[in-house]
Structure 1
Amino acid sequence: MLRYLYADELRHFPKLATSMYQDRADQFKTRLGWDVQINEAGEEKDLYDDLNPLYVIWEEPDGTHGGSMRFLPTTGPVMINDVFGHIIGGKPIRSQKIWEVTRFCLSRRATSIVAGAIMLSGGEVMNGFGLTHIAGVFDERMIRIYRLIGSSPNVIGCGGEGRDRVYVGVWPYSPADCERVAKRAGVSRELSRIWFKTAFGGNSMQRKLRLA
């Protein structure tokens, strides 16, 4: 199942949180060789995890992490503007209607259902919080993954060469895209909406303030 949790809520799910950060270390440091910091517990965290982001996390039946993604509003510090601003010509993306997604991570045992459900959550977040777009930075390998999932972004900039080549893209909210992702993932829109409503009920806009 999918859980929508702010960083300050992760203390209630220690097993889920620890395995998420450890899977991030495994994916980004071990498998991809990124220059990221790993703590003594084998967890990958960065300064954006200290900003109380919203996480979407696939929880396996044993309570561990299967996959996840991190959301932050572009009105505050985000990687697109702080780290990769040169890729978009030094013109920051800042809007109450656009959030950034980062740290798309899948555990080694994740299935295609997990990847699709996490991407589908982007549509639920846009719809639930009244956003027009989500934006993200991604590498070459993710282009194929997004295509398979059925949710390819509009690329607005790229930079670097070879393994270091990265892209900045935006995903507009599209009910048709949500339906396509749901179909390919084998997750019904009804179930996806239930996961979102279980987390937020009718108070998604009020809980949005936690990110301010």
Structure 2
Amino acid sequence: MLRFIHGGDLGAYPQLAHAMFRHRAIQFHDRLGWDVRVSAHGEERDQYDTLDPLYVIWEPRPGQHGGSMRLMPTTGRTMINDHFAYLLPDGRINDSRVWECTRFCLAPGASGRVPALLMLGGGEVIRGLGLSHYAGVFDAAMIRIYRLIGASPLVIGSAGEGRGRVSAGLWDTPDAARARVARRAGISSDLAAHWFRRAGIVPREMARAG
């Protein structure tokens, strides 16, 4: 199932959380060679994980991490503003209806449908919270993957050439794209929407006000 979990609630899912952060270490540190911190427990976490982000997690079986991504409102601190502002037309995104997507991670050996499942989950966050888009940074290799999923972003800025090209993009969730991603994911969009509603997610600003 798709899980939608705020960072502050991960303690209720210790096995799932450990698997997610462990797989992030494997993907970003071991495989891609990024300069990221890995704890003594083999987990990759960064400063943005302390800001109560919303995680979209594919959990194929209880406690098992199939893939995940991290979403945060751009009205607070974000990776795209702190580290990739040079890709943005206005040098910053600060919009309550635009959230950032980072740490798109697949478990080792994940099936080909997992990226679509995560993108479908991201679309439900947009729909469920009344957002307009989510924003993210990606390399050239991801363009083909997004096209296969049926959820290509609107590119708003790029730098570099060839395989080293890095871009910033915006995703929305029109009905046609939602249907394409759902077919690729192998589940109905109604089921994804049900999982989101059941999670009872509200924006962090609303949660604090309550």
TM-score bin, normalised by smaller chain: over 0.9
User: Is 1:209 aligned with 2:210?
Assistant: no
TM-score (norm 2): 0.93
Distance 1:138 1:70 in 2: 14
Distance 1:132 1:160 in 2: 28
Q: Helix, strand or coil: the match of 2:193?
A: helix
Query: Is the 1:53–1:211 contact (alpha carbons within 8 Å) kept by the matching residues of 2?
Result: no
| 1:1-212 aligned within 5 A | 1-89=1-89, 91-161=91-161, 164-200=164-200, 204-205=201-202, 209-210=206-207
Structure 1 residues 206 and 83 mapped into 2: Cα distance closer, same or farther (>3 Å)?
Answer: closer
Q: What letter corresponds to residue 96 of structure 1 in structure 2? A: S
Identity, in percent, stands at 52
Query: Is the 1:72–1:211 contact (alpha carbons within 8 Å) kept by the matching residues of 2?
Result: no
Structure 1 residues 210 and 24 mapped into 2: Cα distance closer, same or farther (>3 Å)?
Answer: farther
Q: Helix, strand or coil: the match of 1:184?
A: helix
Segments of 5+ residues of structure 1 without an aligned counterpart are: none
Distance 1:97 1:154 in 2: 16
Q: What letter corresponds to residue 96 of structure 2 in structure 1? A: Q
Distance 1:16 1:59 in 2: 8
Query: Is the 2:7–2:52 contact (alpha carbons within 8 Å) kept by the matching residues of 1?
Result: yes
Distance 1:60 1:184 in 2: 16
Q: Helix, strand or coil: the match of 1:26?
A: helix
- Between Structure 1 and Structure 2, how many residues are aligned? 209
Segments of 5+ residues of structure 2 without an aligned counterpart are: none
Query: Is the 1:87–1:168 contact (alpha carbons within 8 Å) kept by the matching residues of 2?
Result: yes
Distance 2:27 2:191 in 1: 28
TM-score (norm 1): 0.92
Using the TM superposition, give the Cα deviation of residue 35 of structure 1 relative to its aligned residue in structure 2, in angstroms.
Answer: 1.2
Query: Is the 1:6–1:55 contact (alpha carbons within 8 Å) kept by the matching residues of 2?
Result: yes
Structure 1 residues 68 and 138 mapped into 2: Cα distance closer, same or farther (>3 Å)?
Answer: same
